[in-house]
């Protein structure tokens, strides 16, 4: 089947119903467009696991704190359509804003605690907008699987908890961050960087690596680990740190002491997520890594 583009919920549901009648599982990749290889990895995994792959392309106005950022967000639909077609996507759902929000919303989804740290204080209302639009997409599509990148780890944790708390019948598939050869996490925002800013932007991943090295060398005090990372930031005046934290991956709450990891069946206990946000020029970048601390 060739790639179809649906702009209305009714048209999308008709295409999904046809797929279900033939016994196909549904995989959803929610995006805001401006697609890159990181999104491509989500689509590849969806293609491997699902009989019918739907990609949503919707720049969601309710998750932007400033309207300037909403209007600035890159929109390249034809390029995105070709990108999806090359990866074997079955359907793009590209609704106009009035299709998703025909009236001012009186209902929203908010995931407490997880959304209150890291990006939360700097982007008030952002995660409420994210959780609400993802809940709407999951309800519209009703996929078997939905794919989200670990680069947006706090967003992923919010969505995972929302799905669990609301008993939504979907399996969330986390997908590892895709990076440039120098470690910079792929992001739609990277295209805003000048050549000099692009070079400066690598400092965030370097700081994350410094923190990981300190933890694996035996440092268990989170503040001292962050001090090691700060030494990396100090060498790059072109970047301004918004936050740099070591948190529990489940609830995104900062930890003071890092515990040695223990394996309990298929799960690893006491892993930590090291996460940061920086500004390079007028561009805000986020990144994180999961660290499993071992014995000294």
131 and 198 inside one domain: no
201 and 270 inside one domain: yes
Instruction: Give the count of domains, the chain.
Output: 2
202 and 164 inside one domain: no
pTM confidence score: 0.95
Give 19-23 contacts, CB < 8 A, sequence gap 24+. Answer: 19/51, 19/52, 19/90, 22/51, 23/51
For 104-127, the pLDDT digits (tens) are 999 999 999 999 999 999 999 999
Residues with pLDDT less than 50, the chain? 296
According to the model, what pLDDT value does residue 268 have? Answer: 65
Q: Is residue 278 part of a domain?
A: yes
* Terminal CA-CA length for the chain: 55
Domain residue limits at 195 = 188-291
DSSP reduced 3-state for 194: coil
Task: Among 175, 210, 228, give the residue marking a domain's end.
Answer: 175
According to the model, what pLDDT value does residue 270 have? Answer: 82
127 and 170 inside one domain: yes
According to the model, what pLDDT value does residue 269 have? Answer: 74
13 and 152 inside one domain: yes
CATH number for the domain including 234? 3.30.1300.10
Take residue 1 and report the two structure tokens written for it: 């089947």
Q: What is the 3-state secondary structure (H, E, C) of 161-172?
A: HHHHHCCCCCEE
154 and 40 inside one domain: yes
Q: Is residue 88 part of a domain?
A: yes
171 and 218 inside one domain: no
Q: Is residue 220 part of a domain?
A: yes
The answer to whether the beta carbons of residues 32 and 58 sit under 8 Å apart is yes
Cβ-based burial of 1 (10 A; exposed 0-12, middle 13-18, buried ≥19): exposed
Task: Among 132, 149, 175, give the residue marking a domain's end.
Answer: 175
Q: Which is catalytic among the residues 36, 39, 71, 126?
A: 39
For 34-67, the pLDDT digits (tens) are 999 999 999 999 999 999 999 999 999 999 988 8
Annotated catalytic, 39? yes
Measured torsion, CA atoms of residues 225, 226, 227, 233, in degrees rounded to the nearest 10: 130
Task: Among 140, 175, 210, give the residue marking a domain's end.
Answer: 175
């Amino acid at each position: 089947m060739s790639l179809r583009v649906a702009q209305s919920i009714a048209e999308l549901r008709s295409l999904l119903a046809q797929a279900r009648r033939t016994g196909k599982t549904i995989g959803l990749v929610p995006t805001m467009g401006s697609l890159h290889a990181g999104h491509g990895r989500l689509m590849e995994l969806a293609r491997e696991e699902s009989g019918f792959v739907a990609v949503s392309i919707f720049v969601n106005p309710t998750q932007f704190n400033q309207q300037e950022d909403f209007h600035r967000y890159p929109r390249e639909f034809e390029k995105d359509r070709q990108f999806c077609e090359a990866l074997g996507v079955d359907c793009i759902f590209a609704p106009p804003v009035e299709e998703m929000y025909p009236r001012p919303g009186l209902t929203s989804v908010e995931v407490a605690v997880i959304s209150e740290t890291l990006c939360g204080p700097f982007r008030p209302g952002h995660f409420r907008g994210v959780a609400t639009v993802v809940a709407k997409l999951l309800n519209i599509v009703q996929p078997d699987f939905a794919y989200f990148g670990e680069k947006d780890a706090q967003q992923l944790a919010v969505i995972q908890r929302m799905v669990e708390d609301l008993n939504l019948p979907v399996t969330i598939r986390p997908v590892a961050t895709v990076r440039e050869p120098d470690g910079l996490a792929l992001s739609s925002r990277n295209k805003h960087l000048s050549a000099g800013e692009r070079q400066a932007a690598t400092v965030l991943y370097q700081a994350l690596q410094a923190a990981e090295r300190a933890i694996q060398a035996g440092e268990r005090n989170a503040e001292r680990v962050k001090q090691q990372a700060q030494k990396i930031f100090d060498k790059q005046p072109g970047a301004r740190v918004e936050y740099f934290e070591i948190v529990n991956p489940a609830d995104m709450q900062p930890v003071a002491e890092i515990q040695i990891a223990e394996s309990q069946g298929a799960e690893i206990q006491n892993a930590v997520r090291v996460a940061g946000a920086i500004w390079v020029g007028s561009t805000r970048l986020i990144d994180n890594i999961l660290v499993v601390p071992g014995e000294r």
